[in-house]
Amino acid sequence: MLAAGCGSNQSITSPVTDPAREIDTLWWAMFAAGMVIFAVVLGLLVLAFVRRRRDDERPETERRAYAVILGGGMVAPVVLLAVLFAFVIRVMPAVSAPKPGSTDLTVEVIGHQWYWEVRYPGTDAVTANEIHLPAHTPVRIVARTADVIHSFWVPRLNRKIDMIPGRSNSIELDVPRTGIYRGQCSEFCGLGHAQMAFEVIVQPPGAFRSWLDHEEQPAATPASGTAAAGQQEFAAASCGDCHAIRGTSAAGHIGPDLTHIGSRNTLAALTIPNTPGDLMQWISNPQGWKPGSRMPGFASLPLSARRALVAYLESLR
């Protein structure tokens, strides 16, 4: 029954990496043992139901009952739990935090209410809600928070790590298969908690390199037309107080970096797809899509100004 859900891109039971697979094995082992124990107890209940014969409280019956109680309640658990404990100890290293410097690539993920800031230390690349990774490469993810506690979790790749003020937690992602894996914030962080998802985009190493090179570049300045007007509007509407667009004067740090927003798949932490129409709606009324979002609505801007903004942002590829 549980296997039925293997299609879901956030399912624990469709692991892609070794650590996730080890946890999955642990789960199925526990599941099988648990079902046996459950069946034993159910069997006793059924026995009580069909038997309905009262034993005298003779010493032999009482002794037999004691044997079942101690056997089932003490001996069997001690044995089974010792096995489980050994299993746990064996799996723990596989999902433990990697040492700094143990991987060639480190990615910093910083939780914000309610989006993910993604940095590639050693480069200028900063993006949001999309974590590009090379396949077949161990990567150390370092998770921190800018405000409240969030939790970084990509079920198919590895266990979750909390993002706690004043601390950083890390995890290794070494993904053998290219693809897009969904992750989601899993520590309650306020109004936007349900809409704080992200994607891990695993590419062939070469493709990843060129993506990173491109991501490092500052934003292209639109030559003319609506997009250029949009850039003016961006400054005029003080979007730059909250957003950074590298290569321009916009250097805010409250909202996501928009330097290459045009090349992202989705908006607002996977809340809506990144199409011009959706972007328009987002700028006009972010609360309508993501109640509680820290971004104010700009429906008061003239339609033309908003159109220009959309054109400008879409041009930032």
Partner 1 sequence: MAVESPAPAAAERIGRLDRIWAERPGLSGWITTTDHKRIALLYLATSLAFFAAGGTEALVMRTQLAQPNEHVVGPATYDQLMTMHGVTMIFFFVIPLSIGAFGNYLVPLMIGSRDMAFPRMNALSFWLYLGSGLLVYSSLALGMAPDAGWFNYVPLASRRFSPGLGIDFYALGLILNGVSSTAAAANFLVTIAKLRAPGMSLNRMPLFCYAILATSFSLIFALPPLTADLVFLELDRKLGFKFFDVAHGGDPVLWQHLFWIFGHPEVYIIVLPAFGIATSIIPTFTRRTMVAFPLVAVAELLVAFIGFGVWVHHMFATGLPQMTMVFFAAASLIIVIPSGIQIFAWCMTMVTGRPEFKTPLLFIVGFIVFFVFGGLSGITLAAVPFDQQVTDTYYVVAHFHYVIWGAAVFPLLGGLYYWFPKVTGRMYHERLGQATFWLVFAGTNLTFFPMHIAGMLGMPRRVWTYPSGLDWSAENLVSTIGAFLLTAGLLGMLANLVMSAYTGAPAGPNPFGGATLEWATTSPPPPYNFAVIPRVTSAYASWDDDDRADDRRRLESGELVLETGHETTASTPVDGHLDDVLHMPSESPWPFVLGIAATLGTAFVLTDHYLIAAATAALAAAVLVLWHAGEPAAA
Report 46-85 residues binding ligand HEC (CB under 6 A): none
Q: How far is the CB of 304 from ligand HEA (least distance, A)?
A: 42
In the complex, the residues that contact ligand HEA under the rule CB under 6 A are 37, 41, 73, 76-77, 80-81
Q: Which stretch binds ligand CUA (CB under 6 A): 91-99, 118-126, 188-196, 228-236?
A: 188-196
Q: Which is nearer to partner 1, 194 or 242 (CB)?
A: 194
Could you tell me where the DSSP H helices lie in the chain? 18-51, 59-70, 76-91, 205-216, 225-236, 276-284, 286-289, 303-315
Max CA-CA distance within the chain? 98
Q: How many CB atoms lie within 10 A of CB 280?
A: 16
Q: Which is nearer to ligand CUA, 172 or 187 (CB)?
A: 187
Residue 188: helix, strand or coil by DSSP?
coil
Report 24-53 residues binding partner 1 (CB under 8 A): 26-27, 30-31, 34, 37-38, 41-42, 44-45, 47-49, 51-53
Contacts made by residues 91-96, CB under 8 angstroms, sequence distance 24+: 91/22, 91/23, 91/26, 94/18, 94/19, 94/22, 95/19, 95/22, 95/23, 95/158, 95/159, 95/171
Asked if 189 touches partner 1 (CB under 8 A), the answer is: yes
Q: How far is the CB of 219 from partner 1 (least distance, A)?
A: 30
Q: How far is the CB of 163 from ligand HEC (least distance, A)?
A: 16
Asked if 23 touches partner 1 (CB under 8 A), the answer is: yes
Report 105-144 residues binding ligand HEC (CB under 6 A): 114-115, 128-129
Q: How many CB atoms lie within 10 A of CB 226?
A: 18
